[in-house]
Structure 1
Amino acid sequence: MRRQLQDLVATMLRPGDALLGERQLEEQFGVSRITVRRAISDLVQDGALVRIKGKGTFVSHGLVRSTLHLASFNEDMRAAGFEPSTRVINASTAEPPAAAAAEHLGLAAGEAAYQVRRLRLANGAPVSV
């Protein structure tokens, strides 16, 4: 099933195109829903497809590998063909962190830290908090 979906993506769809729904794929290929979901998950993990909650699954604009650095969200989303945006949910002073965390953050012992909670969006759809 995975290979069939890869072929579909490579020959019939372009970057940014929506993938058919799970039921349609199930009927078209004569496989179970779990098989379809597993194949889609594999292709999402490989970077060939991108899932956007509440919107669907889309053909990726290219393989994006996140390296978990703080400035990567906007770069990663743009590389995948999405317009990133951010909404601040809450910004406040937090309790002083534990000694090891304070040292890592470059704070003096007992110095307060700041906590920012953000909603990250891709093309206006929430993707992370």
Structure 2
Amino acid sequence: KWVLGYAATRGVKQEELDSLKRYKIGSEDTTAVFNNDSKLKTAEHFQAELIYDGFRAAAADGALKTREIDSISELAKKLGMTDEKFQELLELYRQEEEHRQKRIELLFPKTYAEAIKAIDTHYGR
């Protein structure tokens, strides 16, 4: 669901969104255009975004698990990405996630239950 929503916000056409909905993991190699061997000049540039967004998608359930990191690492290797670059992207993701959590804590210091209670009280419910 995260991938579909993210693709939609980036302006992906409906037919491509429909294709994503039907996609089954492992059914085809959709990474070929991102591989260094593809000879596409854009491949290397899109690799970093693909891997970074992979971290974000995998963590959409609230946690980036070790097995998810390992799977994304395997994909990065398949694309021809160096381990150094992969680790840099993982560190960037972790730093940004830490910053996001700090922002949430600062902007929303009350718990969800406390916020709902305040809203209900305000509207006399």
TM-score range, shorter chain: 0.3 to 0.5
TM-score normalised to the size of structure 2?
0.33
TM-score normalised to the size of structure 1?
0.32
Which one has the bigger strand percentage?
1
> Rg larger in 1 or in 2?
1
Which one has the bigger helix percentage?
2
